Amino acid sequence: MNNPTPAPFTPPCFEFDGQPVPLQPGDTILQAAQRAGHDVPHLCWHPDVSASASCRVCTVQVDGRPVAACTTTAAAGQRVQCHTSELRTHRLHLLQMLFVEGNHFCPGCEKSGNCLLQEQAAQAGMTELHYEALNPERPVDASHPDVLFEPNRCILCQLCVRASDEIDGKQVFAIGGHGIGTRLLINSESGQLGDSNLDVTDRAAHICPVGALLPKRVGFAVPMGQRTYDNEETRG
Q: Which residues bind ligand FES (CB under 6 A)?
A: 42-45, 53-58, 68, 70
Which H or E run contains 13?
strand 13-16
Taking the least distance from each CB to ligand SF4, the nearer of 23 and 155 is: 155
Q: SS3 for 18? A: coil
Q: How far is CA 190 from the centre of its chain?
A: 29
> Binding to ligand SF4 by residue 68, rule CB under 6 A?
no
Q: How many CB atoms lie under 10 A from the CB of residue 111?
A: 23
For ligand SF4, the binding residue among 82, 116, 155, 193 (CB under 6 A) is 155
> Binding to ligand SF4 by residue 158, rule CB under 6 A?
yes
> Binding to ligand SF4 by residue 213, rule CB under 6 A?
yes
When CB distances are held under 5 to 8 angstroms depending on the partner's kind, the choice from ligand SF4, ligand FES, none that residue 53 binds is ligand FES
Taking the least distance from each CB to ligand SF4, the nearer of 184 and 198 is: 184
CB of 20 to ligand FES, least distance (A): 23
Taking the least distance from each CB to ligand FES, the nearer of 99 and 141 is: 99
- Exposed e or buried b per residue across 42-55, where buried means at least 16 C-beta atoms within 10 angstroms of its C-beta: bbbbbeebebbbbb
What is the spatial distance between Cα 54 and Cα 43, in angstroms, rounded to a whole number?
A: 9
Q: Could you give the count of Cα atoms lying within 13 Å of 143 in the half-sphere of its Cβ?
A: 13
